[in-house]
Chains A and B, each alone.
Chain A
Amino acid sequence: MTTTTVQTDAPTFDNRQDFADELINLARTNDRVVAVCNDSVGSSNLTKFREEFPDRLINVGIAEQNMVGVGAGLANAGFIPFVCAAGPFLTGRSLEQIKADVAYSQHNVILCGMSPGMAYGELGPTHHSVEDFSWLRALPGLDIVVPADGPQTRAAVRNAVADPRPTYIRVGRFKVPHVSEDNAGLERGKFVVAREGTDVTLIATGTEVSRALWAAASLAAEGVSARVLNAAYLSPLDEDAIRDAARQTGGIITAEEANVAGGLGAAVASVVGQLEDGARVPLRILGLKDHFSPTGSTAFLLDHFGLTADHIAAAAREVLNRD
């Protein structure tokens, strides 16, 4: 297994571009691929898709409940609908549709939460999607995919078309560096080992993966070997990887651009906390706690909530009693 390193000054990308390009590629060879959106043709980066497939972009206007229901109906008619909207409105406004029409009905709808987390920085908590993990993890039968970069975003889109099933994909807008190869794949229900390590495990998702890798690099300089797991799938959860991390390393740090009540950290805690005596390890959960975000850019808010590489490294030192 190779150890990934990502330079802190590596070029960064908006994952929506790779999302749209891959969706168009697949739509060219599969006429069952359609897109549904809520007036978000631009913000969901679907302009080119509309130009090439005008009949296969269904814009229902600003009506998210109907949007998700329409997606379920299209799946019922035999299509693979990519239902695209800003994460907060897709998941918050249509949560009952996601529950009843998609997850419980097992209609193969691909829900694409665009610009998730705090990507809309200064627009504030109404426009942040930091509750999506908590809400959607509670729904049986719904995959949750959180690509960490452009290649993984493409892989998530390919997986959805190759094996359609009820799925939520976070499609990031906040620019991140590539942490994987151009043609990287994602295996359903598996974390990606982004870096091997033996002293401590950093489990990160989405925007936090490159930051965890930076943290691991700085820990390495201090002689600490940090494993980095990219939680590309939150559901199904890679419980084996979590158990291995607990048994093989001395502590676990989780980092997510999301509320910690029910997100990645909570999922990891529920596995670690139920391990046998001696296998449970110290755990630190980094994410949003206690309050709605104040005004600020995405980068500012990630720092405000303790989600930088420095914060992740500090938490690792703390659990290893090295601070």
Chain B
Amino acid sequence: MLTADASQAASWRSLRKEVLAGDADFRSEKLHERAQATRRSILKMITDAGQGHIGGDFSVTDILTVLFDAVMNVDPEDHRKEDRDHFILSKGHCAAALYSTLAHSGFFPVSELDTFMAPLSALNGHPNRVKVPGVETNTGPLGHGLPVAVGTAIGAKLLGNGTRVFVVTGDGEMQEGSNWEALMSASHQKLDNLTLIVDRNRLQQGARTEETNGLDPLDARLAAFGMEVRIVDGHNYNELIDALTPSTTGSPVAIIANTIKGKGVSFIEDRVEWHHKVPSKEQTLQAFQELS
């Protein structure tokens, strides 16, 4: 198990304080800086490793940034404290985005990111809770995170400790039936401490979601399963912050975060072939420029 980086955790704490105290414009600016730094880390990890899922990493980066830097109650130096808020990245193939976010928050040293997918690294291509602090459950096969999030939310209710559970799925991932089993449970159990965020970038590995096995009307479908549905621009920090406030209806919340796969790099954005393509040297230079 990797261990926390105390000084990184301290600077993350002071940044959070600033972000939460600032006005909307300030928050947006600060969170954008953080997200772009995370994207640059991801780019480096993927080009060094020669593999990774850059498109989905970039679509989910802003969501992760808002959760860790402005919303969740977590402690990088006591990552399994019982009264923590829980985060599950169900789209586990976007591990690079999660690792980068966790490292920048001090859960483990940023230098560890250099080992991404190297032999015997803790940072596998899919996250492993046994080795990486901040990972709540091992994901990779799709449709696993939401059921585990439901169980965690039921546990939090039984403990009565007021903690919240956040889970991010891909949109293509919602084609897995286990998610809909879990949604039925979530609403039946009135898990108002649970928030599902669907990273709605409209692309899956092979094609557009709507050309593959259409999800729309996703909002109506989620509502029909008993969710309080909120639709936001998944790259707008203040919209995300507002949407991530607790349930107002007693029902679990489902946020459809409309995103752009590959967000931040012009030649990657919204292109199906960039699901897990690796940029060339020239492309990497251009990408770094666009993300700076």
Query: Could you tell me which A residues sit within 8 Å of B by CB distance?
Result: 34, 36, 55-56, 58, 60-61, 63, 65-66, 68-79, 81, 96-97, 100-101, 104-107
Contacts and interface: CB of A to CB of B under 8 A. Distances in A.
Contact of B152 (A77, A97, A106): A77
Contacts of A36: 151
Nearest to A60: B185
A34 B144 contact: no
6 contacts: A63-B184, A70-B185, A72-B137, A78-B155, A97-B178, A105-B129
Nearest to B139: A100
B33 interface: no
B9 interface: no
A63 B144 contact: no
A209 B152 CA distance: 39
A100 B141 contact: yes
Contacts of B150: 66, 69-70, 73
Interface string B68-102: 00000000000000100010000000000000000
A70 B150 CA distance: 6
A58 B138 contact: no
B155 A69 contact: no
Interface residues of B, number: 34
Contacts of B129: 105-106
B156 A101 contact: no
A97 B138 CA distance: 10
Contacts of A61: 184-185, 188
A74 B154 contact: yes
Contacts of A107: 137, 148
Contacts of A81: 151
Given A60-B181, A66-B181, A107-B137, A101 B153 contact: no
B185 A77 contact: no
B185 A66 contact: yes
Interface string B149-182: 1111111101100000000000000000110011
B220 interface: no
* A-B residue pairs, 8 tightest by C-beta: A73-B151, A69-B147, A77-B155, A70-B151, A66-B181, A73-B152, A63-B181, A65-B178
B169 to A, nearest CB: 13
Contacts of A97: 144, 147, 178
Nearest to B188: A61
Majority secondary structure of chain B interface residues (helix, strand, loop or mixed): helix
A78 B151 contact: no
Contacts of A60: 181, 185
A126 B181 CA distance: 22
B14 to A, nearest CB: 29
Contacts of B143: 65
A73 B181 contact: no
Contact of A65 (B82, B158, B181, B188): B181
A72 B159 contact: no
A104 B135 CA distance: 13
B148 to A, nearest CB: 4
Contacts of B154: 58, 70, 73-74, 77
A37 to B, nearest CB: 12
Given A60-B185, A63-B181, A70-B154, A77 B159 contact: yes
B138 A79 contact: no
Given A73-B150, A96-B141, A101-B138, A79 B181 contact: no
B35 interface: no
Given A73-B148, A97-B178, 14 more contacts: A60-B185, A66-B178, A69-B146, A69-B148, A69-B151, A69-B182, A73-B154, A74-B154, A77-B156, A77-B158, A78-B155, A81-B151, A100-B141, A105-B129
Contacts of A68: 147
A34 B152 CA distance: 13
B2 interface: no
B62 interface: no
B158 A56 contact: yes
A69 B178 contact: yes
A100 B140 contact: yes
B136 interface: yes
Contacts of B177: 65
Contact of B148 (A34, A78, A101): A101
Contacts of B188: 61
A75 B137 CA distance: 10
Contacts of A104: 128, 138
B181 A72 contact: no
A56 to B, nearest CB: 7
